[in-house]
Amino acid sequence: MVELSNADSKVEMKTQIPGEAGIWAFVAGDLLVFSVFFILIALGHAEQTDIFEASRGTLDLRFGIANTLLLLTGSLFVAIGVERCRSMPSGKNKQWFFLGIGCGVGFVVNKIFEWNAKIEAGYSPVTNDFYMYFFIFTGIHLIHVLVGLGVLLFLLRMSQRSSLSAREIQTLESGAIFWHLVDLLWIMLFALLYLL
């Protein structure tokens, strides 16, 4: 059964750029930068297949799966939060951003445990090309997660307002788009580093 619910009981499905145009320029730039990272991993895999497959075998897939699920779930919470802020602004909407932040913090803690376990086992960025890419690219991604957490804190404060202007909704959407970008980039990093 398909239902439509709407605060104004007025169906409105306008075509417009989600968030601010500037965030999409940033998304495009980041996608291009990470495309280079993805290509470098694939090239390394093609040129040093044995080393890459043996190194990949030393990763604990459970960390990667847990982090993927945390980011996907965090994205869902943030997307619901934005939807609720648009349709029925209220102080209660902050819970969705709080849950999203919880997932992000879980990702960071999990990543620290994973790196720590690898370093204790004797793996470092100088072990081989696979581990160099592993630490550098997941490290750059981790910086994105930390910035994203800062953005979500800002959105959490904004979401507590009982009314939001169109401009504020755009800001909320832009912040959420950045958080989803962090999720999206992880999906391909996870595939290339943990699954190939």
Partner 1 sequence: MNTIIRIQGLSVMTWAWFVLVGMTVLAWWFGTASDSPDRVIMGVIITAAIKIWVIGYQFMELRHAPSFLHYAFVLWLIVISTVLLLLLGIL
As a whole number of angstroms, the distance between CA 98 and CA 192 comes to 30
If DSSP codes are grouped into helix, strand and coil, which group holds residue 15? coil
Shortest CB 171 distance to partner 1, Å:
14
**Per-residue three-class SS string for 168-189:** HHHHHHHHHHHHHHHHHHHHHH
Query: Shortest approach of partner 1 to residue 12 CB, angstroms?
Result: 5
Which of 150, 118, 113, 152 has the alpha carbon at shortest distance from 134?
118
Mapped onto helix, strand or coil, the DSSP state of residue 60 is: coil
Contact stretch for partner 1 (CB under 8 A) within 79-87, 114-122, 141-149, 154-162 = 79-87
Tracing tokens 């904004």 back to the chain, one arrives at 158
| List 16, 162, 163, 165, residue binding partner 1 (CB under 8 A) | 16
Q: Which of 106, 96, 15 is nearest to 66 (CA)?
A: 106
Structure tokens at 151: 């953005």
Contact status: 51 vs partner 1 (CB under 8 A): no
Q: Does 54 bind partner 1 (CB under 8 A)?
A: no
Q: Closest CB to partner 1 among 6 and 90?
A: 6
Q: Mask of contacts with partner 1, 154-193, x by CB under 8 A?
A: -------------------x--xx--xx-xx--xx-xxx-
Token pair of 126 as six digits: 């100088």
Q: Which residues in this chain contact partner 1 in the complex, by CB under 8 A? A: 1-8, 10-18, 24, 28, 31, 35, 38-39, 42-43, 45-46, 61, 65, 68-69, 72-73, 75-76, 78-80, 83, 86-87, 173, 176-177, 180-181, 183-184, 187-188, 190-192, 194-196
